[in-house]
């Protein structure tokens, strides 16, 4: 975990006069209006190429938040529950932030097939489709495709920030 959190880390990285951050913006609506030489793209690779080879499947999540009247709820900041529960992970944020309070907040993560994309689905048939998109990526050198969605690969957070 970065010393001041991921938000501060990215704020510091993006605080440069040559970098313009535009949130909640559809790239297709602005691509001709904003002159640039290079772009960093972090969205779904299949969406970028208008689903030319079909839609890649992504796993989505639902989040359920709870507040508990106890200093700590879990014995660790993140606990994975791969098989025995409907949720896959519980996160208790105060471990990660160093927050001290008499109450604590946790979030349950429930996997689902539809919704905002979070994780690629690692199956051989999906990798074959991604290989076709990867050829389009390689033919687009002015755009950097990065992150789980754009490279159709799972990354742990330590791999992303190290």
Residues 47-65: pLDDT tens digits? 999 999 999 999 999 999 9
Place of tokens 């008499």: 102
Q: Which two tokens stand for residue 155?
A: 């990354």
Nearest to 78, CA basis, from 94, 62, 102, 99: 94
Q: Which two tokens stand for residue 86?
A: 């409907």
**Where along the chain do the CATH 3.40.50.720 domains lie?**
5-55+119-161
Residues 18 and 119: their CA atoms lie apart, in Å, by 31
Percent share of the chain, pLDDT over 90: 60
Nearest to 110, CA basis, from 81, 76, 145, 75: 81
Residues 77-100: pLDDT tens digits? 999 998 889 999 999 988 888 888
Nearest to 153, CA basis, from 121, 115, 110: 121
pTM above 0.85, yes or no: no
> 5-55+119-161 adopts what CATH topology?
Rossmann fold (3.40.50)
Query: What's the average model confidence in pLDDT over 23-47?
Result: 85
């Amino acid at each position: 975990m970065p010393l001041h959190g991921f938000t501060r880390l990215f704020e510091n990285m993006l605080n440069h006069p040559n970098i313009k951050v535009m949130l909640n913006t559809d790239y297709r609506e602005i691509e001709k209006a904003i002159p640039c030489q290079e772009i960093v793209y972090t969205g779904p690779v299949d969406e970028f190429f208008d689903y030319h080879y079909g839609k890649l499947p992504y796993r989505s999540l639902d989040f359920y938040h709870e507040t508990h009247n106890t200093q700590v709820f879990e014995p660790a900041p993140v606990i994975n529950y791969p098989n025995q529960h409907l949720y896959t992970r519980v996160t208790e944020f105060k471990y990660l932030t160093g927050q001290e309070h008499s109450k604590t907040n946790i979030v349950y993560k429930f996997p689902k097939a539809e919704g905002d994309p979070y994780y690629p689905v690692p199956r051989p048939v999906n990798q074959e489709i991604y290989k076709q998109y990867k050829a389009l990526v390689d033919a687009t050198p002015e755009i950097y495709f990065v992150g789980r969605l754009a490279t159709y690969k799972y990354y742990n957070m330590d791999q992303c920030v190290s």
